[in-house]
Amino acid sequence: MNNHVKKYTAITGASSGIGYATAIEFAKRNKNLILIARRESQLETLKQKIAELNPNLEIIIKICDLSQADNVFSLFKQLDSYYIETWINNAGFGHYGSVKDQDLDKIQSMLHLNIEALTILSTLYVHKYHHQSGTQIINISSRGGYTIVPNAVTYCATKFYVNAFTEGLAQELRQAKAKLTAKVLAPAATQTEFGQKANNVNEYDYNKSFSQYHTAEQMAGFLMALYDSDNIIGEISTKDFSFTLKDSILPYSGNAAENQKS
Ligand SMILES: NC(=O)c1ccc[n+]([C@@H]2O[C@H](COP(=O)([O-])OP(=O)(O)OC[C@H]3O[C@@H](n4cnc5c(N)ncnc54)[C@H](OP(=O)(O)O)[C@@H]3O)[C@@H](O)[C@H]2O)c1
């Protein structure tokens, strides 16, 4: 790749919460941005804020409902002419409620967004950038993807998928000596619009539901620490809410001790 090619960081779900705060962190690092979500007005506000912070950056806005697979393929195609050095799959939502009572329209949309869109975008990104130095894919999962949270079983299951897929992809890329690295961020409770959407309410008080939580800005700071590191996982401890960088959490059977021939 020509070193003078203009580079971009793409962030899905940049219109609020962790994605919005992460866009500001990348702007502080002089990164041109591709901001993706459904709500254009929020993305325009963010673009304006970044322009005041760092007027030299190019900020591309893409309006896309990622819960529709056709849109996901078409989005990646539309971005073909940009050199994307970092891709962040952050868009996602949760659902609080028992499986017995869950609304399947919402659940199907969650499966499409949290699992299908993330898998399609990760795969297309790997196809195109696996041999490009300095490239990264960061998938936003959850601590709820390493432990089952009562009343959030289906959401947690989507994030178990994200953790398994991304840890596995990271191992696969390392073994293939690819130049692209894959990483996963596993936040715990973070004050964003997540609580409202997971509970189907217009207002949600994090103080009433959690004794501890992070702000979106703190979580974006942890994401940057993961981005700067050579580790695969950035995880929040649900015990003391500390942030730790790790190389693996899930068992991995890619070795002779696990009955695999090399
Ligand atoms: N907050 C927490 O406690 C917490 C904890 C663990 C993990 N997480 C994970 O962190 C990530 C970010 O969530 P957040 O906490 O920042 O929540 P948030 O404030 O609700 O942000 C979610 C983002 O996803 C976008 N999005 C939702 N549906 C979409 C769709 N169909 N197509 C495209 N974009 C869509 C939203 O934008 P539009 O509505 O404009 O489309 C928004 O920008 C999620 O993957 C979530 O699962 C959050």
Q: For residue 49, is it within any domain?
A: yes
Looking at residue 238, its pLDDT comes to 84
Instruction: Report if residue 242 sits inside a domain.
Output: yes
pLDDT one-digit tens code per residue, 114-142: 999 999 999 999 999 999 999 999 999 99
Considering the chain, what percentage of its residues have pLDDT values greater than 90? Answer: 93
pLDDT in the model for residue 223 = 98
- At 260, the pLDDT band (50, 70, 90 cuts) reads confident
Is 260 a member of any domain? no
User: Can you tell me the mean pLDDT for 147-164?
Assistant: 98
Pocket lining: 191 vs ligand 1, CB cutoff 6 Å: no
Q: How confident is the model at residue 255 (pLDDT cuts 50, 70, 90)?
A: confident
In the prediction, which pLDDT does 30 show? 98
How many domains are there within the chain?
1
Express each pLDDT in 96-114 by its tens digit. Answer: 999 999 999 999 999 999 9
User: Using a 6 Å cutoff on CB, does residue 47 contact ligand 1?
Assistant: no
171 pLDDT more than 70: yes
> Looking at residues 31-50, what average pLDDT do you find?
98
Residue 214: pLDDT over 90 = yes
Token representation of residue 20: 């919005």
Residue-averaged pLDDT of the chain: 96
Residue 262 lies in a domain: no
pLDDT at 4: 82
How far apart are the CA of 148 and the centre of ligand 1, in A?
19
Domain of 120 in residue numbering reads as: 7-255
Identify the three-state secondary structure at position 181: strand
Taking residues 60-69, report their average pLDDT.
98
Nearest-atom index, ligand 1, CA of 216: 16
> Taking 70 as the threshold, does the pLDDT of residue 262 lie above it?
no
Phi, psi of 199 (to 5 degrees): -100, 0
Is 19 near ligand 1, meaning CB less than 6 Å away?
yes
Residue 261 lies in a domain: no
207-215 CB contacts, 8 Å cutoff, 24+ apart: 212/241, 213/188, 213/189, 214/187, 214/188, 214/189, 214/190, 214/241, 215/21, 215/190, 215/191
Cβ of residue 194 lying under 6 Å from some atom of ligand 1: yes
* 210: CATH: 3.40.50.720
Distance 243 CA to ligand 1 centre (A): 20
Q: Has residue 171 been placed in a domain?
A: yes
DSSP string covering 210-224: -S--EEHHHHHHHHH
What is the predicted pLDDT for the residue at 154? Answer: 98
Residues 243-258 have a mean pLDDT of 89
Q: Is the CB of 39 under 6 A from ligand 1?
A: yes
The band of 1, judged by pLDDT with boundaries at 50, 70 and 90, is low
Task: Assess whether pLDDT exceeds 80 at residue 2.
Answer: no
In a domain, 2, yes or no: no
